[in-house]
Amino acid sequence: MSEIVYPPVIKTALGLFKALNLKFRLEGTEKIPSTGGAVLVSNHVSYLDFIFAGLATHPAGRLVRFMAKKEIFDNRVAGPLMRGMHHIPVDREAGAASYKAALTALKSGEIIGVFAEATISRSFTVKDIKSGAVRMAVASGVPLIPIAIWGPQRLWTKGRKRRILQRNIPVTILIGEPMYPKRGDDYDKVTQELHDQMSELLEKAQREYTDIPKAGEDWWQPAYLGGSAPTPEEAAKLDAEEAEARAARRAAREAEAGEKKSD
């Protein structure tokens, strides 16, 4: 597979991180396989997570093909980059094609990156996850590798202004023990085990994080550590309201399109 785009993007990102003096804590890189496919499953706290999750495999000399929502690929700037790096677009209303593309990549020895929560967690805890990552790992005969990311939410997350040029921000990336689900397993049980391991990694990253929020800046700290981020219950309510509003906008667009077509 031609890699004209991905290496320069990584080099540019690393140069920017150095200029901003981002302070990385990267642990568990020895758990990334040097060859063969794997499903890398990350928590989701920011719009920049795919960049930092990709760093988890960098010491092993591996590249990650992330599954990302189709709208990113439709963007005139991000789209060509995403396609050039051979990431996989996901259409939530027609996911079979993206699932098939991911399986093909896994069977050819690629690492596929998945944000199993689907959307950013406003509570900065691990939301419920679906069994798709487990099913992909089983179908392609590859391991699941959970990781946790903490820190990028301070740069750009849902409901907050972008601060991507902030300096001296610590970023933690912890890689957990690989899991090897197989056919015949209870996929829901394995998915819960995956969720539990991701949650443990994230809590470790949060409790051991070197920075403490300044006065008035505790929005990026989870509620269970005394921060003002929404609780999981509050976050779920906000997500539901957002989903309802999105559905209403989509229905309105479809109705408008139908009226224009009838005219």
Supply the pTM of this predicted model.
0.94
**3-class DSSP state for residue 262?**
helix
- What DSSP letter does each residue of 21-68 carry, written as one string? T-EEEEE-GGGS-SSS-EEEEE---STTHHHHHHHTTGGGT--EEEEE
**3-class DSSP state for residue 84?**
helix
Tens of pLDDT, residue by residue, the chain (263 residues):
779 999 999 999 999 999 999 999 999 999 999 999 999 999 999 999 999 999 999 999 999 999 999 999 999 999 999 999 999 999 877 779 999 999 999 999 999 999 999 999 999 999 999 999 999 999 999 999 999 999 999 999 999 999 999 999 999 999 999 999 999 999 999 999 999 999 999 999 999 999 999 999 999 999 999 999 999 999 999 999 999 999 999 899 888 888 777 76
Return the half-sphere exposure (C-beta side, CA atoms, 13 A cut-off) of residue 40: 34
Say if strands 38-42 and 111-115 run parallel, antiparallel, or are unpaired: parallel
Numbers of helices and strands, H then E, in the chain: 8, 7
Q: From CA 20, how far away is CA 58, in angstroms rounded?
A: 19
